[in-house]
């Protein structure tokens, strides 16, 4: 990928999070101009750090669930060559714990926000005849694992990605998404405070015997954004240490073998 991103602007939402920070640093090191977007003002600290490291970067504090906030942020970013819809939150673990307001909040943050950002960049990508959009969905979009509002939004993000790929491929625009499993990011901090062994407990469900690291998700995003994936569009790629390959716990019990 070296050199091919020089002079290109990459918008990364949820930039202040674990995956988002890695993406900013990775693409910045590749010569891209980083446009970092997050609802937390920590994104401005990140931008200053990137600048000190020689990265061309600017940032904006905005809640992507607000269409007006998205429009204002993207107006300041100028031409956008790559959009990474990385922002996401999970706040309601069960249907019983999700009231209509909470449901709407999670759909707005995880799906509607990604749509608003996508809507903001498509016209200029069409005019340019090129562009790439990579969205961070989740394996929750494929199977029931709790967090129902978040999961519904992530399933919708897969569908939206495929719709964009179908409609805008003729303009040279590619749209893909990655589906992470459990990732070691700050989103788990509140659970770890209650149970320090929660992530260790989850590892037995993963064929690789571990959970995903943020940079592993980011590397697949980097591939999808690169010229190496020039014929890839409409794809939803699991990055899940094998979780969606099958139920390894059940398989072991059925065969009475620890394979």
Cβ neighbours around 6 below 10 Å, total: 11
Beta bridge partners of 37: 13, 60
Single out the residue of 95, 97, 116, 92 nearest to residue 13, CA to CA: 116
Catalytic residue among 154, 168, 171, 206: 154
Active site residue 150: yes
Q: Tell me the HSE value of 28 on the side-chain side, using a 13 A CA sphere.
A: 24
Catalytic residue among 115, 150, 168, 206: 150
Single out the residue of 159, 153, 160, 142 nearest to residue 110, CA to CA: 153
End-to-end CA distance of the chain: 38
Residues in CB range of 251: below 8 A, 6 or more apart: 259
Burial class for 164, CB neighbours closer than 10 Å (0-12, 13-18, 19+): buried
At 182, is the secondary structure helix, strand, or coil?
coil
Active site residue 206: no
Question: Catalytic positions, please?
Answer: 150, 154
């Amino acid at each position: 990928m070296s050199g091919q991103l020089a002079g290109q602007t990459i918008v990364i939402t949820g930039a202040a999070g674990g995956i988002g920070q890695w993406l900013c640093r990775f693409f910045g090191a590749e010569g891209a101009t980083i446009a970092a977007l997050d609802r937390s003002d920590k994104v401005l600290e990140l931008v200053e750090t990137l600048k000190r490291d020689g990265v061309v970067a600017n940032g904006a504090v905005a809640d992507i669930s607000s269409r007006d906030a998205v429009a204002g942020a993207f107006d300041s970013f100028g031409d956008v060559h790559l959009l990474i819809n990385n922002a996401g939150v999970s706040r309601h673990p069960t249907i019983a714990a999700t009231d209509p307001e909470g449901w709407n909040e999670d759909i707005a943050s995880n799906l509607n926000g990604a749509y608003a950002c996508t809507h903001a960049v498509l016209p200029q990508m069409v005019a340019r005849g090129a562009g790439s959009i990579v969205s961070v969905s989740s394996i929750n979009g494929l199977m029931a694992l709790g967090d129902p509002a978040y999961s519904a939004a992530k399933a919708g993000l897969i569908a939206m990605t495929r719709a964009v790929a179908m409609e805008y491929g003729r303009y040279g625009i590619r749209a893909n998404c990655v589906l992470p499993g459990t990732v070691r990011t700050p989103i788990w901090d509140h659970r770890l405070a209650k149970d320090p062994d929660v992530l260790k407990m989850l590892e037995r469900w993963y064929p690789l015997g571990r959970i995903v690291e943020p940079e592993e998700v980011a590397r697949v995003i980097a591939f999808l954004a690169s010229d190496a994936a020039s014929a890839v569009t409409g794809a939803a790629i699991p990055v899940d240490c094998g979780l969606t390959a099958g139920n390894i716990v059940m398989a072991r019990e059925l065969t009475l073998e620890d394979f």
